[in-house]
Each structure stands twice: as structure tokens, then as C-alpha cells.
Amino acid sequence: MSHYEVKAGPEAYLPPAAASMGNVLPDPGQAHIGGVIVPEEEAYEFAARKFLEAKVPTIFPGPLVLWKWNEHAAEKAKAIRELANELPMRLIPMADYRPKYPKIDAAVEINPNHPNLTIWHNKIDVCIFVGVHCHQANLALKIIRGGTDCYTMAMCAQAGHEDACLSFRDATPEKIRKLTAAVKKLKSEGVKSQAEEFTQIKMTREGRVT
Amino acid sequence: MCEDLADIMPPEYQELVATATFGNQDRGWKDIGSSKELIEQHSLCAGCPESIAFRYILASLPAPEDTVFVGSTGCTSLVFPHVAVQNIHSLFGNQNAIASGLKRTLASRFPGVEKDVVVLAGDGATVDIGLDMTMQSWFRQEKFTTICFDNELYANTGGQESGLMQKGFVAKMAPKGKNFDKVRLAEIAREAGCAYVAVLTVSKPNRVEQAIKNAVLVAREVGPTFVQLYTPCILEIGKQSMEGLDEMKDAESIGGRFVQKEFITDEAQKLLDSIKEETKARKKAAKEKKSVNA
């Protein structure tokens, strides 16, 4: 079977599952870039470069890091905020998996049933999923590759995602911070972020503040 | 919520954390309107009694944060994706089999934490297609609650005859009228081993709250429980959106099909009495403490 490259879409209405095309998940200590297994260190730099060259780099934190299930989740959330501040990157939450018809506000949230709406609305060109349960992340990653040209990454706490353009596995706060460190390193070497000016979302119980 | 990301959470989630009644052991239907409800929206028809039944049930669960619903195919399955309580959609009819495995697994996975499993399905799933699984779970004394939304026909698919349809009723897809009596599911549940059985409409929220609380609490300690709620399909019986409440009131009046009834085993009654006493004592102590502080 020839290699199936998992690249940014639009692939088609229903892209094939990368696993069905022969792509396999990385082993511990590895990641994959476009379906090719690479050492994790290589993927940190590649991902950092992708973030820096993006116009609208965005983190999609999921329920596993938004809700304080335990101190580990809180620590991951802290690491995610550090990564977002370093670039800077937009933070758009996936708080749960309810379909929320018809009122989802694509400017400030994303759900796995219609992730393309949020990508289109905000013109997101590079994104990373963190803390989204695997079955929902797989669904969202496929929809994004099917209908948008966004480059997708996954910081997975389990075994990784074949359907992301780039995937890490066994995510921990330390690994998220390694990614932040890779961004810092490139910036110190003179690589400038191409991100457009934006103001981070800020919400209260009454509504959006910024 | 994690503090570092709390300020990006949409308002509805912040509201849920601030005012929903998770962890409040006295939560009930009276919280509706003053706290964040666990049902954000629904996709049922306007005026559907099922939607109000959902609101009362979700407001009455003793511990929604530790509850998992098991649903089945039907109108109810259109609502579950919207609720803020864990839920599983099963295949049409096997909901009680799924719930049996789930209850046992949760007991093994979370020893020392009371995890409630509640099946919520329509009459087709409970009585026709799933009757085998429903009854077998009762025979096995599985400790979870089964709630049946009884609308007396297959509403979602256009009005076919169901086992709980009343005799002689003519529906869109049952033009000759039903030849047999409505299945007496409450009596079957009692004989099959349910420790607590209730039949009622959802016209009175306090009654629904009490039945749901009784059913869940008895299921924790004693054995299987069953609640049959009349939630008429206003479309399929030719009513207007605002006529659902009247239909339920008619059905529960003297001589009606849904006059409220309960079957409670001695063991379950003893448990409910002790819970009542405990609640009374706790509220009295809280009141006294409040007056001392004042």
C-alpha cells in the first residue's frame, strides 16, 4: 500500500480514515507528521514552526482540560495558557459535545459536530486539539480535513490520532511545555510569528467581555 | 472549571457552575426558573409533555453529577444530546441490558461512590421491542431505575400501535383500532420483582419529583424500580400544543387510565420512611442553626 499523506484539506466531503489507508499510530516517544512516524523532538519543532507561520493559530482545549477533574487537568490548563500566551494563539473552547442547535456561537466556541463552522468563521489556518476525548477528536479532525484548509494537530493523552496532520501522544503538562519551549527557541532564533492581531476571548456569566 | 481557562468558557457553562444544583441534596422541581437547568434546549414538538417531563426529572435526580442515563430509540433520543447529564444511547430495546452492565461496571470502577443508572425510554422500547431485556433486568434484581415515557403509540414514526396503546384506539398507522387491552406494565413490574413502582402523569411536578426520588433512592439500596409516566403525543392524538396538560389531567382523573398508583415493597417502604425521617431531622437542624446564627 502506498503512503497516504495526511495533509490539510479540503480533502473531500468524507475523507478516508487514515487508519484505513494503512497509517499507524506512533509508539511512545514518537509522533507523526502527515502520517510519517518521526521522533517526538522533530515534531515539536515542526509544530512550533507551523504555529509561527500561521495567520490564525488556534488552540481548541477540550473538556479534559477545561474542567477541573483533578490537579493534573488544572496543570495542563496552565500549560495550555502558557503556550497560548507565548505565540500568541487564540483559545477557543470545546466545553462539551452537545450539538447545540442552532445557536452555537462560532466566534467563541467549537463543537465536534460542526467544527468547520468555527474554522470558517475565524479563518483558522492552523489548530491544535488538546483534552478532547479521542472519539470526538477523530470526528472533528475528519470534518475539518474534509471541508476546510486548516492544518490540524492533536496533543493526545492516549495513543495519538491518525486523522490529524500532526499528532503527539501521551500528552502531559511537561510535553505541552516542551512545545512552548520549541516556540520560544524558534523565536529566539529570529523566527517571527505571522499571526494577525487579535484580542483573546474573555467571558463572564453575563457574556463576552472582549 | 480549571482557573487558567475559565475566562474563555461561554456564559452558559459559567452559569452552570455558578447556579446549577449539582451537589444540593434538596434539589427539586422548585429550582426550575431560579437555577441553571440541566436541559439547555430540546428538539421536541412545541407543547410536547415529554419536554416538561424531562425538565422535572432532571430537576429531581438526587445526584445528577453521579448519574448516567441510558436512552433508546424514540422521541427521547432526540433530547439526550442536549442534556448536561452523562447519557448513553442504546440500540432499540436493549436499554435495560446496557444499564445492567453499566451499573455493575460503575460499582466496580467507583467503589464507595453511589453511581445511579436511570433508563429512560418510550413505550415501544420498554414494552414491545425491549420487553425481554426490561423484564430480565427486573428478574435479576438489577439495581437501577427504569422510566417509561408512555405516549401509548409509536409517535416518532407516525403513530403505529404499541403494547401500551389503549384498546380500540385508532391511530394514523393503526386504522382498524387496537384489538387488545393496554398492557398492565406496572403490575408486571411488581410481579417481576420491582421494589418500587409508580404510575402517574406529568401534570403535577411535585408528584413527579417524589416518584423519581423514591425510585432512584430505592434502586440504590433495595432493587429495581419502575416509573411509568403518561406523556401524551399531542400530534398523534389530534390535540393542539396547549392541550397536553388537559389531556394528562383527564387521564389521571377518577376512572382514568393514569390514576396515580404506587406499589412499594415493605423493605422499600422502610427505607423511604427512614430517608424521610433523616431529611426532616437535617432540615430541622439547619433551621435551628440558622436561627442561632441570626
The residues spanned by each domain of chain A are: 34-188
* Mutation choice for A interface testing from B1, B3, B8 by most A CBs within 10 A: B8
Contacts of A204 in chain B (CB under 8 A): 7, 11, 14
Contact B145, B227 (CB under 8 A): yes
- Residue-wise pLDDT for B64-86, tens only, equals 999 999 999 988 888 988 898 99
Range of the domain at B84: 36-268
Q: Is B67 helix (H, G, I), strand (E, B) or coil?
A: strand
Residue A53 pLDDT exceeds 80: yes
Buried b (16+ CB within 10 A) or exposed e, B122-144: bbbbbbbbbbebbbebbeeebbb
What is the pLDDT, as a whole number, of residue B292?
A: 87
What is the pLDDT, as a whole number, of residue B200?
A: 98
Q: pLDDT exceeding 70 applies to what percent of chain A? A: 99
**Is residue B205 assigned to a domain?**
yes
Helix (H), strand (E) at residue A80:
helix A71-86
What is the pLDDT, as a whole number, of residue B148?
A: 98
Question: Which CATH architecture describes the domain A34-188?
Answer: 3-Layer(aba) Sandwich (3.40)
**Is residue B199 assigned to a domain?**
yes
- Across residues B225-253, what is the average pLDDT? 95
Measure A177 CA to nearest chain B CA, in Å. Answer: 15
- Across residues B89-117, what is the average pLDDT? 96
What is the pLDDT, as a whole number, of residue B25?
A: 87
**Is residue B170 assigned to a domain?**
yes
- Across residues A21-29, what is the average pLDDT? 96
Q: pLDDT exceeding 90 applies to what percent of chain B? A: 88
Q: Which of B3, B7, B10 sits opposite A95 (nearest CB)?
A: B10
Residue B144 C-alpha cell reads as: 437501577
Average pLDDT, chain B: 95
- Enumerate residues 57 to 116 of chain B having a beta carbon within 8 A of any beta carbon in chain A: 81-84
Answer yes or no: do B14 and A204 touch at CB < 8 A. Answer: yes
- In eight-state DSSP terms, residue B66 is G
**Is residue B88 assigned to a domain?**
yes
Residue A187 pLDDT exceeds 80: yes
Q: What is the ipTM of this complex?
A: 0.95
Answer yes or no: do A74 and B15 touch at CB < 8 A. Answer: no
Going by C-beta distance under 8 Å and a sequence separation of 6 or more, which residues neighbour residue B47?
A: B234, B240, B241, B242, B243, B244
- Enumerate residues 144 to 183 of chain B having a beta carbon within 8 A of any beta carbon in chain A: none
- Report the chain B residue with the minimal C-alpha distance to residue A71: B2
- Residue-wise pLDDT for B151-205, tens only, equals 999 998 999 999 999 999 999 999 999 999 999 999 999 999 999 999 999 999 9
Segment among A169-183, A188-202, B30-44, B204-218 with least mean pLDDT: B30-44
Contact A12, A147 (CB under 8 A): no
Residue A101 pLDDT exceeds 80: no
Answer yes or no: do B5 and A206 touch at CB < 8 A. Answer: no
What is the pLDDT, as a whole number, of residue B230?
A: 98
- Enumerate residues 200 to 239 of chain B having a beta carbon within 8 A of any beta carbon in chain A: none
Answer yes or no: do B8 and A200 touch at CB < 8 A. Answer: yes
Partners of B86 in the β-ladder? B68
Q: pLDDT exceeding 90 applies to what percent of chain A? A: 90
Residues of chain A with a CB closer than 8 angstroms to some CB in chain B:
61, 65-68, 73-74, 76-78, 80-81, 91-93, 95-96, 98-101, 103, 105, 108-109, 200-208
Answer yes or no: do B9 and A101 touch at CB < 8 A. Answer: no
**Is residue B273 assigned to a domain?**
no
What is the pLDDT, as a whole number, of residue A165?
A: 98
Number of domains, chain B: 1
Long-range contacts of B156-159 (CB under 8 A, 24+ apart): B156/B73, B156/B74, B156/B75, B156/B122, B158/B236, B159/B233, B159/B236
Measure A89 CA to nearest chain B CA, in Å. Answer: 13
What is the pLDDT, as a whole number, of residue B13?
A: 92
What is the pLDDT, as a whole number, of residue A99?
A: 79
- Across residues A74-91, what is the average pLDDT? 97
Contacts of B82 in chain A (CB under 8 A): 98-100
pLDDT confidence bin for A102, thresholds 50/70/90: low
Residue A1 pLDDT exceeds 70: no
Q: Which of A78, A99, A203 sits opposite B7 (nearest CB)?
A: A203
Rounded to whole angstroms, the Cα distance separating B216 from B220 reads 6
- Report the chain B residue with the minimal C-alpha distance to residue A209: B7
Contact A137, A168 (CB under 8 A): no
Q: Which of B1, B3, B11 sits opposite A207 (nearest CB)?
A: B11
CATH of the domain at B250: 3.40.50.970
Q: Which of B2, B18, B40 sits opposite A66 (nearest CB)?
A: B2
Whole-angstrom CA distances from B79 to A20, A132, B16, B89, B276 are 33, 23, 18, 11, 32
Contacts of A208 in chain B (CB under 8 A): 11
- Across residues A55-66, what is the average pLDDT? 98
